[in-house]
Amino acid sequence: MLKRLLKNTDYITLVCVLILFAVGVVGIFSAGYATDVNKDEYIKQLIWFGAVFIMMIVIWCIDYNVFDIFGYILYGINLVLLVLVLFMPSLMGANSWFNLGGMLYQPSELMKIACIICGAKFLSILKNNIQKNDKKKQIILFAVSILIFLIPIILIVLQPDFGTAIVFLVILAFMLFKYGIKYRYIFIALGLILLLIPVVYFLILNPTQQERIKVFINPELDPLGSGYNAIQSKIAVGAGKLFGTGLLNGAQTQYGYLPIKSSDFIFSVISEELGFVFSVLVVVVYTVLIIRLIIISKNARDDFSSFMVIGIAGMFFFHFVQNIGMTIGLLPITGVPLLFVSYGGSSMITSGIAIGIALNVSARKSKSVFLE
Per-residue pLDDT tens for 151-206?
A: 999 999 888 888 899 999 999 999 998 988 776 777 777 777 778 777 777 777 76
What's the pLDDT at 209?
67
What's the pLDDT at 220?
66
DSSP conformation letters of 112-136: HHHHHHHHHHHHHHHHHTS-TT-HH
pLDDT confidence band for 317 (50 / 70 / 90): very high
pLDDT of residue 124 exceeding 70: yes
Residues facing residue 104 across a β-bridge: 99
Q: Is residue 271 part of a domain?
A: yes
Q: Is residue 370 part of a domain?
A: no
What's the pLDDT at 228?
82
pLDDT of residue 103 exceeding 90: no
**303 touches 174 (CB < 8 A):** no
Q: Is residue 352 part of a domain?
A: yes
Q: Is residue 371 part of a domain?
A: no
In percent, how much of the chain has pLDDT > 70? 90
Instruction: Give the C-alpha separation, 238 to 23, whole Å.
Output: 19
Instruction: Give the C-alpha separation, 155 to 71, whole Å.
Output: 19
Instruction: Give the C-alpha separation, 307 to 79, whole Å.
Output: 21
Instruction: Give the C-alpha separation, 100 to 296, whole Å.
Output: 36
Question: Which of the two residues, 100 and 353, has the higher pLDDT score?
Answer: 353
Q: Is residue 372 part of a domain?
A: no
Write down the H helix ranges in 129-263.
135-157, 162-179, 183-199, 207-217, 228-239, 251-254
Question: Which of the two residues, 188 and 115, has the higher pLDDT score?
Answer: 115
Q: Is residue 58 part of a domain?
A: yes
**340 touches 23 (CB < 8 A):** no
pTM of the model as a whole = 0.90
What's the pLDDT at 202?
73
Range 329-349 average pLDDT = 89
* Secondary element (H or E) of residue 98: strand 98-100
pLDDT of residue 4 exceeding 50: yes
What's the pLDDT at 372?
40
Q: Is residue 157 part of a domain?
A: yes
Range of the domain at 49: 2-365
Question: Which of the two residues, 224 and 353, has the higher pLDDT score?
Answer: 353
Instruction: Give the C-alpha separation, 51 to 45, whole Å.
Output: 10
* Secondary element (H or E) of residue 104: strand 103-105
Provide the number of structural domains found in the chain.
Answer: 1
pLDDT of residue 275 exceeding 60: yes
What's the pLDDT at 133?
64
pLDDT tens for each residue of 54-78: 999 999 999 898 998 999 999 999 9
pLDDT of residue 91 exceeding 80: no
What's the pLDDT at 225?
65
